Structure 1
Amino acid sequence: MENKDPLAKWEGKVSKRLAKATVDQIWPLYADFFNLHKWFPGLETCYGIHGNNGELGCIRFCGISPGNADKPEPANWAKERLIAIDHAQHTLSYDVVDTTIIGLRSFVGTVKILPSGDDDDRTRGGVIEWSFTVDPIDGWSLDGVVAQFD
């Protein structure tokens, strides 16, 4: 998976199969763009700072780690803009417009919710597929970035 070309974008993908949750049960959690913190482990807070939830161009603030008594704001955060959403195909894409996390300024993520296997009727589970592109990050490896989300 390691990409040795320092000018090429890094691309990665992880997926998780859910045996009991269907596509139609999973999708609303992702489409609720401003409320990722309600179910995403390790995310301290998430809320809208621009536009209407789920509309193209809206921006969310995601606080990744808690602050402390002197500075209650999250120590690490990202502002993410919704750049594509397709409710029929259960896909969305977002980019990072600002962040305290060094190197993630060129980050674009895409989430696809897919039926599990040959589950055309969408009743026997689903697969969450998350992929990204990002410029290479100094001090990181592509495998290290992927491992953060796997």
Structure 2
Amino acid sequence: MASSKLQGSVETKVMAPLEVVWKIVSEFYESHKWFPGMKSCERVEGAPEKGVGSVRRCVTSGQEGSDSFGVEELIAVDDSKHSYSYRLTDTNMQGFDGYQATIKVSEAKEAGNCLLKWSFELDPAGHSKEDTEALFSSILTAMAKNLEQLASSQ
């Protein structure tokens, strides 16, 4: 039986070294430093260090002045492959039922740069794969710029 989940991925180049970018994005409770529009990201449960089963609550600026939140559980980490996966366990955002994602950083062809890939799946809720990838791509582009700025200050 085919999955009823909408699945996709987006990727962009980050003009910063892989190890520096991985150090930034792998800090599970620090996403507010590089995720566009995120106001806060706090540990709800789990060890202070990232570890499978850790849970964070992230708050973003919502539409019309209201905040949106997502509670996310870390479900896999692979430091050697520079990737981690998480799933959304609670949210007040529409259209994110069943959301699960993987963030992966890999080498780019150009020395001193890396690639940032965001793979995801969620219940379709009336969204097309193309529209969802376009939304995630625009967010990923802003993420890359934030990561470049953070990397340059390290």
Match of 1:113 among 102, 105, 126: 105
Identity level (%): 29
The aligned counterpart of 1:18 is 14
Q: What CA RMSD, in Å, does the superposition of the two structures yield over aligned residues? A: 2.2
1:61 aligns with 2:48: no
Distance 1:59 1:83 in 2: 9
Residues 13 and 130 in structure 1, CA contact (< 8 A), matched pair in contact too: yes
Amino acid across the alignment from 1:29: I
- For residue 30 of structure 1, report the CA deviation from its aligned partner: 1.5
1:33 aligns with 2:28: yes
Structure 1: 5+ residue stretches without partners:
1-6
Match of 1:133 among 121, 124, 132: 121
With normalisation by structure 1, the TM-score equals 0.81
- For residue 67 of structure 1, report the CA deviation from its aligned partner: 9.4
1:142 aligns with 2:138: no
* Structure 1 residue ranges (4+ consecutive) displaced by more than 3 angstroms after TM superposition: 66-69
Distance 1:66 1:103 in 2: 14
Residues 44 and 66 in structure 1, CA contact (< 8 A), matched pair in contact too: no
Amino acid across the alignment from 1:132: F
1:42 aligns with 2:37: yes
SS at match of 2:116: strand
With normalisation by structure 2, the TM-score equals 0.79
The aligned counterpart of 2:151 is none
Structure 2: 5+ residue stretches without partners:
138-154
- For residue 68 of structure 1, report the CA deviation from its aligned partner: 9.2
- For residue 148 of structure 1, report the CA deviation from its aligned partner: 2.1
Paired residues, number: 135
Match of 1:98 among 81, 90, 112: 90
Query: Highest CA radius of gyration, 1 or 2?
Result: 1
Distance 1:67 1:133 in 2: 23
